[in-house]
Structures are given as C-alpha cells and as structure tokens.
Amino acid sequence: MLTSDDIPARDLRLHGHRVSYRLAGDGPPLVLIHGITSSSANWLPVMPLLAEHYTVIAPDLLGHGASAKPKGDYSLGAYASLVRDVMAALGYDRGTVVGHSLGGGVAMQLAYQFPERVERLVLVSSGGLGREVSFLLRAATLPGSELVLPLLASKTLLDTGSAVGRAISKIGLRISSDWMEMARGFASLNDIEARRAFVHTARAVIDPGGQRISATDRLYLAESMPLLIMWGGRDPIIPARHGIAAQRHAPGSQLEFLEGAGHFPHHDEPIAFVRLLRDFIESTEPSLFDAERVRALLRGEGGRRAAPVAH
C-alpha cells in the first residue's frame, strides 16, 4: 500500500524558476492547492488514499515549500497561471481542482481565468469568501511585520513550542492541528526570501481589517461547474459561516461540515475528507466550458441553467 514516504517531492522548471510538486496515483487528474506558508506536504495525510483512485498533482506554489521564491507577482491571478502551467507541463489539460485556505482562492481564480481547465471545484476552509480571518494573518500585513516574522520563525521559539507540545501529549492532551500546522508554516519563514514571499502573498489578499478579496460576486459564473464546499466546524482561522454564505451565492453547490475538524479537515479527519471528496467526484459529471453561456451570464441574461456535460 502506498504511504506518504512513497510520494517524494519532484522538480520542474517553469519560466526559469524551480517549481516543486508531488505526483502520485493513476486515474482522473486531481489537483491539490495548499494554503499560505504551507506546501504540497500539507496534503500527505490524504494523498496515498486519493492516489488509489486518481492521479494526484500537488504543487508547491512559488514562495512556498521547495519552490523558488523570486521577487515577483504573488497575486491570486499569478498563482492560478502557475497551477495551469504545472498541469500543462505534466501533460494534464483538465482536472478536479481542490484548494485549501489561500489555495481555495487560487482554485476559484483558476476556475475564473481558465474555466476550460477545471472539471470540478472543491473549496476547503477557503479564503476569498468573506472578510474575517485570524488576527495573526492580519497582523502580517501591518507595516514593519517583516521585522517581527524572524522572531516568530526563530529556532529557539519553535524548539520551545515543540517541547511544550511533547509535554502536553505525554499527559494525554491533544494539541490542535491548526496551531501545529501554523507553527510549521512560520518555521518555513526562516530565510529572508521566504519571509518576503509570505508578506507579498498575504498583502495581496489581506489587509489589517481582514480579507480584501471576495469571489462571491463571481460564483454565479461557475453555475454549471460541480462545486463542493467543505469546512471544519471548529475552524479558528476562517469562520465556517463563510461556507454557508458561499453556498447562497452558488445554490447548486454542495456544502459539507466536518464538525470535529478545525482549519485543516484533511488532517483532523482524513478518512471522512477522502470519502466526501470521492463521493462528490463519483456523483458528478465534469463540466465542459460553454463560452456562449458565460457571455450570456456576463450580460445578465437569464435562461435555463446550463447542465454539466461529460468530457
């Protein structure tokens, strides 16, 4: 049986930059997009299970993980173009796209910019669906945050946090995966290029008041694209009510809560996460881009809801 150790990171070069990615399995393409300060490794708890049924492609976005961290564009649009190019470079024209947190914003932008590439859209504790977001991410957008980040990513602080975590585990208590994953994320900011990329990425989508970009006004354009919204019921980073609001803007979508999970439901409840994702994929047909329908929607014309078409 495949394990996470059997899914190593690989490299390719795109536009002169190193892009790291993980690839596993065989079957219909399934693209996994991680969140801010994270990497493709964030998907390892579910990749072996998903690879039993799908070809799973998980890139490290630029500025994250083992990918290059150049001075450049860290907008959602640039990330969406990167994911499209990774898919194309690996030989996949279309696929089901899953985005977690910031990756949800990237996935929605990919579906908006390149709808012909996206067969289904899955948003997991997604950004870009409401204003609220955790204070820690908002603070990262403040002037001078670059000076504080090295302290949060310092080896001494992280070692102390790990020691406290081990001590708590020994007495039978469980540390939230949310804070453990956030600690791992900040540990990745221990060099100046990673910190610079993080700040540029955060400021592209967040300001001190919260998330500054919302995709809810454009979800209607994906009316014929199967959409699954999945959220942890105890998410302390992005409130679960954003998922409820998003479904109101996309009434044909499916909304699922993993009540015992936090911001990383694929870590807290991997079996349930994979089951929901598989059921969604197996019960829906991949969408086929209809340029005429999109033109009608953009002009505000009504009409019968376009049905997904198998490809």
Which residues are known to be catalytic? Answer: 101, 235, 263
Contact between 124 and 277 (Cβ < 8 Å): no
Alpha helices per DSSP H over the chain:
47-50, 76-89, 102-113, 135-139, 145-152, 155-170, 177-187, 192-205, 241-249, 265-268, 270-282, 291-298
CA separation for the pair 19, 294 (Å, rounded): 32
| Length of the chain as a residue count | 311
CA neighbor of 21 nearest in space, from 1, 42, 46, 3: 42
DSSP state of 125: S
Instruction: Extract the tokens encoding 264.
Output: 């990383």
- How far is residue 126 CA from its own chain's centroid? 7
